[in-house]
Structure 1
């Protein structure tokens, strides 16, 4: 097996010190007054020998692994994958690697994944906080580990977070339907204490109360898509007075559209539809579905801005950053006037 090239080998070939080679490789040549000609010799030999830094040795020397842990419910969901993609782009441009993981709403798995991140000595954590992990995250924050939460937050967890204006978003979407003549608007969500879902329901309830309309809410005990469709089918059969429905998340909307197909319900003709979260398939429905679009790039960029600031000022007393971003209501034919 070919021997791995080390800094020592490069220094020996050029008859210079290991320290000088290290400074050049780490971009400190100018700072350390190393000549341009010597810098070029080092970099040329590094390229010729295909020198690769030893990540473990580097992390032991610097105390940094250049790895960030990313933990969400299901990274295959369009919302999470869109944010993950942009975070990876930013991280890669700065020399960081991301460990992407999904909990699948399994608290034990989430705790195990968090422990793996700790064992890998990740520099920071990005999380859509899973239910049941609150105490673990509190302990993590107490160690002064950089942690940025997004999508959801827990009021008694004092952390950095990036969220969107959930309550105002559903309030505006509901008022859009009311202004278009809809009076019996249903709201389909999940039975949860996750703050973002609670806020979305509050926005809807505030709007219908303001206009003295009934609140017609279905809270699904979410297990899987098949069970969700069964519960929605019963709901739509029972609430025959409905003339519109808001689905509180993209996966709920997908199950709702599957229910429509199964039960012969037509978008707009039978029920006006609004989805919380916009995703590609909604544009190809007949008619296309109105959706509350979350600013995925802005969410990702704010997460990384906060996290990198924490990493840069490690050990210093930096206050928590809490960012709330607006959404955009993409109006399409599914919510057109009656």
Structure 2
């Protein structure tokens, strides 16, 4: 049987003290004035030899498990997977591990996952919450557990938030259509009370007021069968032949919408201009490339995990709440070219 590797073994191999190894494992390298180069050397060696500290034993000794729980809508979504990956990378360098789960935007599932994370005694929570999670998040805060909410707001909860300006981004996207000569601009969005979706719809409606435009809004059900969404969007476009541009509120809605447009043999942008909220690297490869609202994924990830680490490392009080609002960027490409 393979001999278990201990902190003592690692200290001997690297020629440093066991205390130094412990400080690095507990994320206290900066606090104890351990250089970044030594911290990196220790972490790389730990990974190389396959040392696995007992997280729960550590938790009993230090009051920390060095684990952060993360809840997102759908970890397979390019936006959430990219944010989670960058958060995981930053956390790992600071001695923390991330465990994450998808809520599928279902409140009861999110509640169950929080209970599971509580049983694992995670140190903090980074959450993109579905509606109706106010009590559970406030319970975490009442128990002095740090919470960072990102991507969307949640009412009656006073905690740290990392958001983007959904209203301004949607407004600017529709204004871009208007400046390009489009007049009958539709929006395809979720049938949802999620705050970020409502903000995007509000931005769309207010931008249309510039040309006294009539809102044309199609709402589809979250994670409905794709065939159903495609058919509904297709019927919407057929029933409203005056539509000359469409603003899709998310990239996964756009997936269904683009299939609908293809099925109707409509040409982008000659027959229909297209803008998508949430950029994707493949959008540049479409013909024509798709104009999209690009969210600052790196900044979202860095702000979310850095706020959490500041609290966990004692550099920020639980009562010192921080709210960050980031700007998006409209990536203008061929799908929204000016009309003749």
2:285 paired with 1:284: yes
Kept after mapping to 2: 8 A contact 1:65/1:121 = yes
Q: Which position in structure 2 is the counterpart of 1:247?
A: 248
Q: Which position in structure 2 is the counterpart of 1:113?
A: 113
3-state SS, counterpart of residue 157 of structure 2? coil
Aligned residues: 316
Separation in structure 1 between the aligned mates of residue 315 and residue 181 of structure 2, nearest angstrom: 54
Q: Which position in structure 2 is the counterpart of 1:191?
A: 191
2:95 paired with 1:101: no
The Cα RMSD (Å) is 2.7
- Residue 51 of structure 1 and its aligned partner are, at CA, apart by 6.7
2:135 paired with 1:144: no
Q: Which position in structure 2 is the counterpart of 1:320?
A: 321
Matches within 5 A, 1:173-322: 173-222=173-222, 223-313=224-314, 316-322=317-323
In structure 2, relative to structure 1, the CA distance for the partners of 1:316 and 1:207 (3 Å cut) is closer
- Residue 22 of structure 1 and its aligned partner are, at CA, apart by 4.7
Normalised to the residue count of structure 2, the TM-score between the two structures is: 0.85
Separation in structure 1 between the aligned mates of residue 319 and residue 158 of structure 2, nearest angstrom: 13
In structure 2, relative to structure 1, the CA distance for the partners of 1:303 and 1:51 (3 Å cut) is closer
2:156 paired with 1:156: yes
Separation in structure 2 between the aligned mates of residue 24 and residue 51 of structure 1, nearest angstrom: 15
- Give per-residue Cα distances to partners, 1:15-40, cap 9 Å, x unaligned: xxxxx9652432499x99xxxxxxxx
- Residue 246 of structure 1 and its aligned partner are, at CA, apart by 0.2
- Give per-residue Cα distances to partners, 1:236-275, cap 9 Å, x unaligned: 0111000101000111111111111222222112100000
Kept after mapping to 1: 8 A contact 2:55/2:66 = no
In structure 2, relative to structure 1, the CA distance for the partners of 1:21 and 1:267 (3 Å cut) is same
Q: Which position in structure 2 is the counterpart of 1:23?
A: 19
- Residue 50 of structure 1 and its aligned partner are, at CA, apart by 8.2
Gaps of 5+ in 1: 14-19, 33-45
- Give per-residue Cα distances to partners, 1:42-99, cap 9 Å, x unaligned: xxxx99x987543332221101111111111111101001101111110111111110
Kept after mapping to 2: 8 A contact 1:127/1:149 = yes
- Residue 132 of structure 1 and its aligned partner are, at CA, apart by 3.0
**Higher alpha-carbon deviation: 151-160 or 20-29:** 20-29
Q: Which position in structure 2 is the counterpart of 1:16?
A: none
Separation in structure 1 between the aligned mates of residue 118 and residue 315 of structure 2, nearest angstrom: 17
- Residue 314 of structure 1 and its aligned partner are, at CA, apart by 8.1
- Residue 129 of structure 1 and its aligned partner are, at CA, apart by 0.4
Kept after mapping to 1: 8 A contact 2:182/2:245 = yes
